[in-house]
């Protein structure tokens, strides 16, 4: 049996951790250690090298990158997150950066530029040749988050009258410089997109055929379309790449499945982070300095803490009631917690549905009506249990208060939780921002008002 040389993709890799132990915690390596490390790196697969770099602080990553042969360094650098690339660029010498930057595809280059400080961005741009600089600037002209920002202009364009054989020759000659050869947009004399063909069609065609004979109707996106929505759509339809056009339906580039994948991963990272009340890191966790972790969280935490002062004020109003019936204070975390949980459930469900395109802004009434019913049912179940338990342990009055409060809180929280992400989207904010932390704070404050209102009514104070 032949022994496989490349390891399976996901198994943990002892070789990486062994090397990491050698690196240890020291900041700098001695010259002779560098030679040893260089040899060790040569024995790793590209995938292992990338994983090793992703687990180190960026300065250390830059050192490792410099130890690699130029081609491997380029490939490894290409595979890193844009934020991580930017940190490494900051730690590398100017001439190293220029080479790595020029070797990136134009769409990856644009993502990196977004993460670089202005003066470094200018420096690396000046290292590009005229043509590369122009195509990079063209993409930078589109707004962030649009398809234009993520497309590649390097696509072979064919016309209906072109013969299949001629196109095949041209493809063979230019394959090296093209982003993809699987999808070929067909345009008319004004560069207006009129069809699509691809390697598979060329391959199946008779040699005497023209592109016009084999082209078919294209799926396409406009350069100003939302990149995340387009990426989700076209990946779910199993395309490998789709042509991108301007407002006049003229071809401007191609959006490939791997770039679409990067867009979705970036968007999901952001949603995950914001749902948890922090900013996305856009680089691997272990290569992120502690101070950046702190920065990604502190503003959120402060804003949430400041809005939580509202709960202090609400309770301040009811301080006399608490002083009179101290037992009411025991249920505060339980009630606010349950409200927060119900609100989060609704908010995260609707946020995800919005991201996937399952729900649109105009569905707001539908969503609220559904969430209101779900909340009411949940509230009925929890309220009944709460009533029974509080009656047994404390008193019938406390049971009624807890049961009624849970019913109201669940209904309100689910409705508001479903509403908030759609409202956020309607005003142009990120729905994920409202899906966890703000829902909790909101539910805390309103829940307490409801609680004490019910308590005062039932107890007659």
Binders of its own copies in range 202-261 (CB under 8 A): 203-204, 217-222, 225-226, 229-230, 233-238, 240, 242, 248-249, 257-258, 261
Q: Could you say which of 436, 442, 446, 455 contacts its own copies (CB under 8 A)?
A: 436
- With tokens 């130890």, the residue in question is 67
Taking CB under 8 A as the criterion, the residue among 1, 93, 161, 427 binding its own copies is 1
| 296: Cα within 13 Å, side-chain hemisphere | 18
Handedness of CA 15, 19, 25, 28 (dihedral sign): negative
Residues within window 150-189 making contact with its own copies, judged by CB under 8 A: 168, 171-172, 175, 181-182, 188
Which residue carries 């609400």 as its tokens? Answer: 314
The count of residues interacting with its own copies (CB under 8 A) is 137
Which is nearer to its own copies, 118 or 290 (by Cβ)?
Answer: 290
- Among positions 82-141, residues that touch its own copies (CB under 8 A) are none
Q: Which of 64, 215, 374, 455 binds its own copies (CB under 8 A)?
A: 374
CA 79/CA 431 separation, integer angstroms: 29
| Closest approach of its own copies to the CB of residue 388, in Å | 13
Shortest Å distance, C-beta 148 to its own copies: 13
Nearer residue to its own copies within complex by CB, 27 or 31 = 27
Q: Which is nearer to its own copies, 11 or 177 (CB)?
A: 11
Nearer of residues 93 and 286 to its own copies, judged by Cβ: 286
Least CB distance from residue 359 to its own copies, whole Å? 5
Is residue 432 within 8 Å of residue 451, measured between CB atoms?
no
Between residue 339 and residue 368, which ones bind its own copies under the rule CB under 8 A?
A: 340-342, 344-345, 347-353, 356-360, 362-363, 366-367
The answer for residues whose C-beta is within 8 angstroms of residue 88's C-beta and 6 or more apart is 58, 61, 62, 65, 77, 80
Of the candidates 41, 441, 450, 455, which one interacts with its own copies according to CB under 8 A?
441
Between 94 and 384, whose beta carbon lies closer to its own copies? Answer: 384
**Contact status: 338 vs its own copies (CB under 8 A):** yes
Interface with its own copies includes 315 (CB under 8 A)? yes
Selected from 58, 275, 411, 415, the binder of its own copies by CB under 8 A is 275
Choose between 35 and 461: whose C-beta lies nearer to its own copies: 461
What phi and psi, each to the nearest 5 degrees, are found at residue 215? -70, 155
């Amino acid at each position: 049996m032949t022994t496989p040389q490349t390891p399976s993709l996901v198994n943990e890799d002892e070789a990486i951790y062994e090397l990491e132990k050698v690196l240890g915690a020291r900041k700098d390596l001695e010259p002779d250690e560098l030679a040893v490390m260089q040899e060790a790196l040569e024995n790793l697969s590209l995938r292992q090298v990338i994983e090793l770099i992703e687990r180190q602080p960026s300065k250390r990553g830059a050192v490792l990158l410099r130890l690699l042969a130029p081609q491997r360094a380029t490939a490894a650098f290409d595979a890193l997150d844009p934020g991580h690339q930017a940190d490494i660029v900051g730690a590398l010498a100017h001439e190293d950066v220029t080479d790595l930057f020029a070797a990136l595809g134009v769409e990856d280059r644009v993502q990196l530029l977004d993460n670089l400080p202005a003066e470094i961005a200018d420096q690396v741009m000046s290292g590009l040749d005229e043509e590369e600089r122009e195509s990079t600037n063209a993409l930078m002209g589109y707004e962030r988050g649009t398809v234009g920002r993520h497309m590649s202009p390097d696509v072979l364009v064919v016309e209906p009258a072109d013969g299949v054989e001629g196109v095949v020759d041209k493809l063979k000659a230019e394959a090296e410089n093209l982003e993809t050869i699987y999808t070929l947009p067909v345009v008319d004399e004004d560069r207006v997109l009129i069809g699509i063909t691809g390697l598979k069609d060329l391959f199946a065609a008779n040699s005497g055929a023209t592109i016009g004979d084999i082209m078919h109707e294209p799926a396409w996106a406009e350069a100003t379309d939302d990149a995340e929505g387009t990426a989700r759509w076209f990946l779910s339809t199993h395309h490998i790449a789709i042509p991108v056009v301007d407002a006049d339906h003229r071809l401007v580039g191609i959006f490939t499945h791997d770039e679409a994948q990067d867009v979705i991963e970036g968007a999901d990272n952001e949603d995950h982070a914001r749902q948890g009340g922090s900013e996305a890191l856009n680089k691997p966790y272990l290569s992120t300095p502690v101070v950046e972790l702190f920065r990604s969280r502190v503003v959120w935490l402060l804003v949430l803490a400041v809005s939580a002062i509202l709960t202090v004020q609400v309770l301040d109003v009811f301080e006399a009631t608490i002083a009179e019936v101290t037992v009411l204070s025991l249920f505060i975390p339980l009630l606010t917690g349950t409200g927060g949980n119900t609100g989060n459930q609704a908010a995260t469900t609707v946020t995800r549905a919005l991201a996937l395109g399952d729900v649109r802004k105009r569905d707001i009434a539908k969503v609220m009506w559904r969430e209101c019913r779900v909340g009411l049912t949940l509230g009925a179940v929890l309220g009944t249990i709460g009533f029974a338990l509080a009656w047994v342990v404390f008193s019938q009055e406390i049971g009624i208060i807890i049961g009624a409060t849970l019913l109201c809180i669940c209904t309100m929280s689910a409705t508001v939780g479903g509403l908030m992400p759609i409202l956020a989207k309607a005003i142009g904010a990120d729905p994920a921002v409202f899906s966890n932390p703000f829902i909790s704070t909101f539910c805390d404050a309103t829940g307490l008002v409801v609680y004490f209102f019910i308590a005062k009514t039932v107890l007659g104070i």
